[in-house]
Amino acid sequence: MKPTRFLYKSWVIAKKDIRIYYSKGPVAIFGLLLPLFLYLAYAVGRNMAAGEALASIMSMTVFFTSTAVGPVIAPWETRARTFERLITSPVNMAIILSGDAMASMLFGTTITLVVAASGLVIGVFPANTPLLLFNVVASALCFSFLGLLLSAPPADTPANIMMLSSLIKFPLIFISGIFMPINHLPLIAQIVSLLSPLTYTTDLFRYITLTKNSLPIHLSITVLLLFTITFIIASIKFHERNAPKRL
């Protein structure tokens, strides 16, 4: 299939997802309200530099917003019996998931860039604007496919998938250097933090807003891209395997 045809079909699915799922309750709660409340619980009453605060809120925002849409789609369509119609149309699982990821990525990218722009109001200017844009887009894509991977179990109840998603996402929040730079963590925690893709997103944001990073920039970029490729392949394989169970 030609790349242009692939992208066109993916975009058609993405437009369907945007129209239907952006207004769903779980997306608003887990994508917008939850990172806001976590940030307020972390920041209120603490004497933090504006750049440190902005790096933390951008990390939480891109993580939660990009993983808010994907986990809702598959169980909702399974329950509504629209999944059967989708897989009998002239698209394969890669196209379906690419469209779902596109909708998730646009949601996460847009809101995170709004947060980044708000930093200009408080006097935080990015040290590297191209790197900021890359980190937002690459992280949104990575976490979108993570959300789709978490939705692979053939459940027809969105709440069950969102609960599973939360069990995975909350530990990642606390081991990824959002609340404390990873070089300030105990050695065992530093080792564990390297297993989280959010660690590399956060460290890049800290460099962008504070010019302080715990890991080499090229390492963070490379590992983030490797996580993205892994999530793409795994999500397609698991959804293909579980698709018959949704019928």
Q: Residue 31 in contact with residue 113, Cβ under 8 Å?
A: no
User: Mean pLDDT across the stretch 132-147?
Assistant: 96
DSSP state of 155: -
Over pLDDT 70: what percentage of the chain? 90
User: How much is the mean pLDDT over the chain?
Assistant: 86
- 233 pLDDT tier (thresholds 50, 70, 90): very high
Rounded to two decimals, the pTM is 0.89
Span of 43-47, 63-67, 69-73, 93-97 with lowest mean pLDDT: 43-47
3-state secondary structure of 1: coil
Return phi, psi of residue 125, to 5°.
-110, 135
- In whole angstroms, what is the distance from residue 23 CA to residue 103 CA? 13
Contacts of 183 (CB under 8 A, 6+ apart): 190, 214
- 34 pLDDT tier (thresholds 50, 70, 90): low
Check pLDDT > 70 for residue 164: yes
Place of tokens 């329950």: 79
At residue 171's C-alpha, the angle toward residues 34 and 242, to 5°, is 90
User: Mean pLDDT across the stretch 124-131?
Assistant: 91
Check pLDDT > 90 for residue 247: no
CA distances from 113 to 116, 140, 145, 165 (A): 5, 11, 19, 24
Token output for 67:
């993983």
Token output for 210:
């504070």
Q: Which pLDDT value is given to residue 87?
A: 76
Q: Which pLDDT value is given to residue 29?
A: 65
3-state secondary structure of 178: coil
pLDDT in tens, 2-31: 788 898 999 999 998 888 877 766 666 665
The DSSP H or E segment spanning 218 is: helix 217-242
Q: Which of 68, 135, 67, 70 is nearest to 99 (CA)?
A: 70
- In whole angstroms, what is the distance from residue 164 CA to residue 151 CA? 9
Other C-beta atoms within 10 Å of 79: how many?
14
| 60 compared with 82, residue with greater pLDDT | 60
Q: Residue 62 in contact with residue 143, Cβ under 8 Å?
A: yes
- 100 pLDDT tier (thresholds 50, 70, 90): very high
Q: What residue segments make up the domains of the chain, in order of their start? A: 3-246
Check pLDDT > 90 for residue 119: no
| 13 compared with 37, residue with greater pLDDT | 13
- In whole angstroms, what is the distance from residue 189 CA to residue 179 CA? 13
Q: Which pLDDT value is given to residue 155?
A: 79
Q: Which pLDDT value is given to residue 39?
A: 67
pLDDT in tens, 179-217: 888 888 888 988 999 999 999 999 999 999 988 888 999
Q: What is the CA radius of gyration of the chain?
A: 18
Token output for 185:
């963590």
- In whole angstroms, what is the distance from residue 41 CA to residue 31 CA? 17
Q: Which pLDDT value is given to residue 30?
A: 62
- 121 pLDDT tier (thresholds 50, 70, 90): confident
Q: Which pLDDT value is given to residue 199?
A: 95
